Amino acid sequence: MTTAIIPPGERRIPLLRRRNVQALIWFTIAVILLIPTLFPAVWIVLSSLKTSAETHTFPPRFIGSEISLEAYRAVFGRGNFLHYMFNALIVALATTALGVLVAAWSGYGFARYDFPGKGLALGFIIAAQSFPRVLLIIPYFQAMTALKLTDTYVALILAYSTFIQPLCLWMLKSYIEQVPRELDEAALLDGCSHYGVFWRVIVPTIRPALGATAMLAFLTAWNEYEFALVLTSTERVRTISVAVAYFLGEFTTEWNNIMAASAIATIPVIILFFFFQKQLVSGLMSGALKG
């Protein structure tokens, strides 16, 4: 009785087919899971390309009968729209830089040193984060009014930092705890100070984590609405999130204009994510793995 010998090339074909089928199945599952996430973004873009009349039709149409740019012309026709985006960009970048810097330094202290009241301080940070953000608007408004800082960049940056820094602190603290202490000890033996260890050892090591944390902080500051609405009273420092709400009319709403403004407002976020996506993924993955 003879045994047929299958050439190696023919044995690879069923294996490749199984892998292709598995890849197709996982791709299909990923697309199905992404539909609820991507649908609002697709709807915003398609609605911004409709005429005002088509946005009020019932039942609503997913795709308009023609592509219209009248909404974008109306948005850019308001001369202050780009100014609102510039305000939001300044506040978001300043808040992110301040939040990540303070959170990295304080996270290093909490992760590496034991001091009296450490547990109490961490507990206070958690307790402060548990309060709904809306409840803090009135105290902040009163404080900024007393300091004569309302309707300024400083008021928005300070207000945003209060809820962004604790988030960044907890994220960076967990990342720094994963950095081996032997690196700190080796740097100290080489003559580095504790400040030098932080800047020369810790910061380069957690660079992906810093990028991921900065991305989340920027998104939080860019999308913030309640504090920006209360702490700004003129167009001088009004941000884009508040400006979009002003497209709502008293008797009618031009939905295509709102969708166009929303689509334009997402462009800086998309650009930022495009340049920092590797740092974001690396930071999230490094936070998920230990050892």
What is the band of 175 on the pLDDT scale with cuts at 50, 70, 90? Answer: confident
87-to-32, 189, 213 alpha-carbon distances in Å:
37, 47, 22
pLDDT confidence of residue 289: 45
Write down the pTM of the prediction. Answer: 0.77
pLDDT in tens, 14-46: 656 677 777 788 888 888 887 787 888 887 888
What is the band of 277 on the pLDDT scale with cuts at 50, 70, 90? Answer: low
State the Rg of the chain over Cα.
26
**Domain at 78-288: CATH code:** 1.10.3720.10
What is the band of 163 on the pLDDT scale with cuts at 50, 70, 90? Answer: confident
Least reliable range by pLDDT among 110-119, 196-205, 211-220, 250-259: 250-259
The answer to whether residues 98 and 157 touch, using CB atoms and an 8 Å cutoff, is yes
Domain boundaries, the chain: 8-48, 78-288
| DSSP at 65 | S
